[in-house]
Amino acid sequence: MTYTEIGVVAVLLAVVIDLLILRTRVVAGPTFWLSYAIIIVFQLLTNGVLTGLRIVTYDPAFIVGAGDYREVRPPFIGDGRLAFAPVEDLLFGFAMILLTLSMWVWWGARGVQRTPYSGPPPRWWPRGGILGVSRAVADPAVEQPGARSALGGGQPPPGESGVVDEAADVSRPEPPSGADRA
């Protein structure tokens, strides 16, 4: 199969999945077309850079157009190209976006992850956290040796009395004595 044939099959498959299998009808709504109009600009920009600089090349036997542009820069528009890239890339981009949005709507209608997950980290999460964020901060109910809970539990470290900042609901050290203030 040529790149063109595969692109057409991908579009048809995505439309059939959207309209007949998932029955989300994303492609029939104006929101999809507005989203696609925004996305296609960036797709053309990205494809243009990759093919215009010949980072990605295509075998002319498998795409629309007669020219062999593996050694020279392809035309910006013409010979089966738009923004240096083969027009078939638009087919794949359309199919990818339609299928992604169709699945998003289909899963969302079934209540899958309607709101962002928030809660304690999973048990496999590193005990000390990543980038200095500890489990005690992420989950105040988890007590760690030597750590103070954001809810005021635990003892302050030696030499630190600690003051609770009610606005932020976190513990912080007391400011220096009056003699040290400017």
Based on the structure, what is the number of domains in the chain? 2
DSSP the chain: --HHHHHHHHHHHHHHIIIIIS---GGGSHHHHHHHHHHHHHHHHHHHHHHHTTSS---GGGSSSS---SSSPPPSEETTEETTEETHHHHHHHHHHHHHHHHHHHHHHTTTT-S---SSPPTTS-TT-BTTB-HHHH-TTS--TT---TTS-S-PPTT---EEETTTTEEEPPPPPGGG--
Better pLDDT: 78 or 12: 12
- The stretch 162-177 carries a mean pLDDT of 53
Do residues 72 and 132 both lie within one domain?
no
> 139 lies in which domain range?
123-175
114 within a domain of the structure (yes/no) = no
Do residues 88 and 168 both lie within one domain?
no
Stretch among 14-18, 19-23, 59-63, 102-106 having the lowest mean pLDDT: 59-63
Q: pLDDT grade, residue 103 (50/70/90)?
A: very high
Look at the alpha carbons of 96, 98, 99, 102 in this order and tell me if their dihedral is positive or negative.
positive
Q: pLDDT grade, residue 155 (50/70/90)?
A: low
Strands 163-165 and 170-172: antiparallel
- The stretch 58-81 carries a mean pLDDT of 78
153 within a domain of the structure (yes/no) = yes
Do residues 76 and 145 both lie within one domain?
no
pLDDT tops 90 at residue 120:
no
Do residues 129 and 63 both lie within one domain?
no
Do residues 74 and 155 both lie within one domain?
no
Of 109, 140, 162, which marks where a domain is finished? Answer: 109
- The stretch 68-92 carries a mean pLDDT of 82
Q: pLDDT grade, residue 152 (50/70/90)?
A: very low
Stretch among 99-103, 108-112, 127-131 having the lowest mean pLDDT: 127-131
Stretch among 29-43, 115-129, 162-176 having the lowest mean pLDDT: 162-176
12 within a domain of the structure (yes/no) = yes
Of 86, 109, 132, which marks where a domain is finished? Answer: 109
141 within a domain of the structure (yes/no) = yes
Mean of the per-residue pLDDT values for the chain? 76
